[in-house]
Amino acid sequence: MLYMECLGCRIANGIEPDLNIVYENEFITCVLDIAPFNEGHTLILPKKHYCDVEEMEGNFNDLTHYHMHLIPRYEGDGFIWGEPLHPHGAEKRLSQTKKKILKTLSEEKRRGR
């Protein structure tokens, strides 16, 4: 079920404007975070609305939140939740980061990986 008042639902279903979607299938949408901790910080959101992990079925019931963060790590970056690890304007390069990720995914798919 889609809840229009839920930002997660609107993002996962492509209703929010200017999304930088890097992967999508029938179950999830992966979108670049607009306030990334690191270049390539991605949110993974189920398309169905879930308030609690117990509501999730089958393969998705091991998630602890309605979304997950995929945060690329770089040598020496440490980890502090809540502040960018490399505050070099990654939020201003979302479009370029999206293009790099899509290109890499396409190349990996062609190689059969």
What is the chain's mean pLDDT, rounded? 78
Per-residue pLDDT tens for 49-101?
876 656 656 554 443 336 778 888 777 776 666 655 555 667 678 888 889 98
Which pLDDT band, with edges at 50, 70 and 90, does 28 fall under? very high
21 or 66, which is more confident: 21
Residue 65: partners with Cβ closer than 8 Å, 6 or more residues away: 53
pLDDT of 63 reads 34
Question: What is the architecture of the domain spanning 7-110?
Answer: 2-Layer Sandwich (3.30)
b/e code 2-27 from CB counts within 10 Å (16+ = b): eeeebebbbbbbeeeeebbebebeee
pTM (two decimals): 0.70
Res. 23: pLDDT tops 80? yes
How do the domains of the chain map onto residue ranges? 7-110
Q: How many CB atoms lie within 10 A of CB 37?
A: 22
Report pLDDT for 8. Answer: 84
- Rounded CA separation 16/88 (Å): 26
